[in-house]
Structure 1
Amino acid sequence: MAKIKKDTNLRKAILQAAITGQLISNVEGATETGKQLLDKIIEERNKKLLADWEEAKKKNPKAKKPAPIVASEIAEDEIPFEIPESWCWCRLGDVGDWKAGSTPSRSNPEFYNGNIPWLKTGDLTDNFVDVIPEHISEIALKSCSMRLNPVGSVLIAMYGATIGKLGILNIEATTNQACCACITHEPISNKYLFYYLMSQKKALTEKAEGGAQPNISREKLVIYPFPLPPLAVQNAIVAKLKEVLPLVDAYENAVLQKEELKTALPDKVKKAILQEAIQGKLTENWRKTATIEESGKQLLDRIIEERNKKLLADWEEAKKKNPKAKKPAPIVASEIAEDEIPFEIPENWCWCRLGDICKLTDGEKIQDIKLPLLDAKYLRGKKEAEYLSLGKLAKPNDLLILVDGENSGEVFINKEEGIMGSTFKKLNIVNELYLPYVLQFIALNKDLLRNSKKGAAIPHLNKDIFFGLLLPLPPLAEQEKIVEIIEQMLPLCEKLRG
Structure 2
Amino acid sequence: MNTKLLKQKILDLAIRGKLTQQLKSDGNTADLLKEISSACHPERSAKGAKSKDLKQIIPLDKSEAPFEIPENWEWVRLGDVCELISGQDFPPEKYNAEKKGLPYITGASNFVNNHVILNRWTEYPSVIAQKGDILLVCKGSGYGNYVYADFEKAHIARQIMAIRISDKTLNAYVYNFLGSQYERLKFQGNGLVPGIARSVVLDLTVPLPPLAEQQRIVAKIEEAFAEIDAIEKNKELLKTHIKQTRQKILDLAIHGKLVPQNKSDEPASVLLERITRDNPHYEKIEDEPFEIPENWYWVALGSLSSLITKGTTPRGGNVAYIDNGVGFIRAENIPGMLKINSSNMKFIDSATHQGFLARSIIKEGDILITIAGSLGRTAIVHKSDLPLNTNQAISIVRLYLKKDDFLKYVVYALNSSFIQELLLNQTKVTSIPNLTLEIIQRCQIPLPPLNEQSRIVAKIEELFSTLDQMERNLV
- Structure 1 length normalisation: TM-score? 0.42
Question: TM-score if structure 2 supplies the norm length?
Answer: 0.44
